[in-house]
Amino acid sequence: MSSLNLDDFTDLIERPDGGVRRDAEARRERVAVPPGALGRLDDLGEWLAAAQGAVPVRPVERPRVVLFAGDHGVAGAGVSARPAGGAERLVRAVLEGGRPVSVLARRLGVPVRVVDMALDCDPGALPAEVVRHRVRRGSGRIDVEDALTLEEAEAAFRAGVAVADEEADSGTDLVVLGDVSVGGTTSAAVLVAALCGTDASVVTGRGGEPIDDLAWMRKCAAVRDALRRARPVLGDQLQLLAAVGGADLAAITGFLLQCAVRKLPVILDGVVSAACALVGQRVAFRAPDWWLAGQSSGEPGQAKALDRMALEPLLDQGVTVGEGAGALLALPLVQAAAALAAELPELPELPELPELPERTEKEEGDLSTEGRGV
């Protein structure tokens, strides 16, 4: 029996400040640029103001990329273009600056943090700050067994909460969230299908490195088999993450919920973060108000999850690589919205016109006959 009470998040999470958002909307109406001329940037600026509780909105100056990493046993069923247990190589490439997220982060001046939750490698092979939250070596093969024990799921969830607290306490003002995994999109598809009540084929995509038709059919079969194991525990989100999630997905869910508690905005990346957000919404219905969908990855599971949470992606560039790269592309857009909301000058108030003296009856009569030749 878990000692973690997820219901506490419902009480702890508040919506972004509605009064501040109305103040931001009122300020926008006083700006010289016509309403609607900046499109969605207006909404973004007002959302940020409400999240920060400040008008004008403060600039986003200390963003951070946070990537949760793990290997999933289901990759052994031939559902991924990457080899089972291959996430360690991806993590190394991220740390060494050789992945798309590394290049973009370097260009934008954003630090990248990788958190190993369940990589299938010797923990001594990676830096201590990467592996210190690890729960286990690899997650179980979800089509035939649980991904985690309930105790491991709780430990992973608590680790995600701890990472969110560390980021909030360090002054991070916005998080770009992603994952580094092999087999993670399969677990994500199961979570989305279970929570949305859909069939495996509706939510199963082709992953970060697209798979062929045969691998896609194997992936659908794995999702279908895992769904049978997920349905009996749908009412308990921690049990669900233990059965068909994984240590990285459980940590992401805890991270997202605690970011909402700490009023720390998050940009979601692809289907994995979207699936965890969907679990988080089941835990605390107000939590998605603190999250943005950075991009459309093309994964059907992501589209289904975002639609259920009423989140519309900021970008659609066809980026499927994962690892937070697509969400990081959306960061300059959010920063631009903040700058426009804060720095566009307001129109000066027009001086009040003096009141005209009331006319006498004689003056009214004179005006009525003027120009008639009388």
Yes or no: say if 258 and 167 are a contact pair by the CB < 8 Å rule: no
Spatial distance between the Cα atoms of 178 and 297, rounded to a whole number of angstroms: 12
Q: Catalytic residue at 323?
A: yes
At a CB cut-off of 8 Å and minimum separation 6, what does 87 contact? Answer: 69, 70, 71, 119, 120, 180, 181, 182
Nearest partner of 219 among 205, 230, 209, 229, judged by Cα: 205
What 3-state class would DSSP assign to 267? strand
Integer angstrom CA distances of residue 362 from 356, 358, 359, 365, 368: 17, 12, 8, 5, 10
Spatial distance between the Cα atoms of 81 and 78, rounded to a whole number of angstroms: 8
Annotated catalytic residue within 312, 323, 346, 352? 323
Spatial distance between the Cα atoms of 313 and 306, rounded to a whole number of angstroms: 8
Yes or no: say if 24 and 50 are a contact pair by the CB < 8 Å rule: yes
HSE-up (13 A, CA, CB side) for residue 250: 36
At a CB cut-off of 8 Å and minimum separation 6, what does 223 contact? Answer: 143, 186, 189, 190, 193, 200, 203, 204
CB atoms within 10 A of CB 334: 23
| Rg of the Cα atoms in the chain | 26
Spatial distance between the Cα atoms of 332 and 328, rounded to a whole number of angstroms: 8
Q: Catalytic amino acids? A: 323
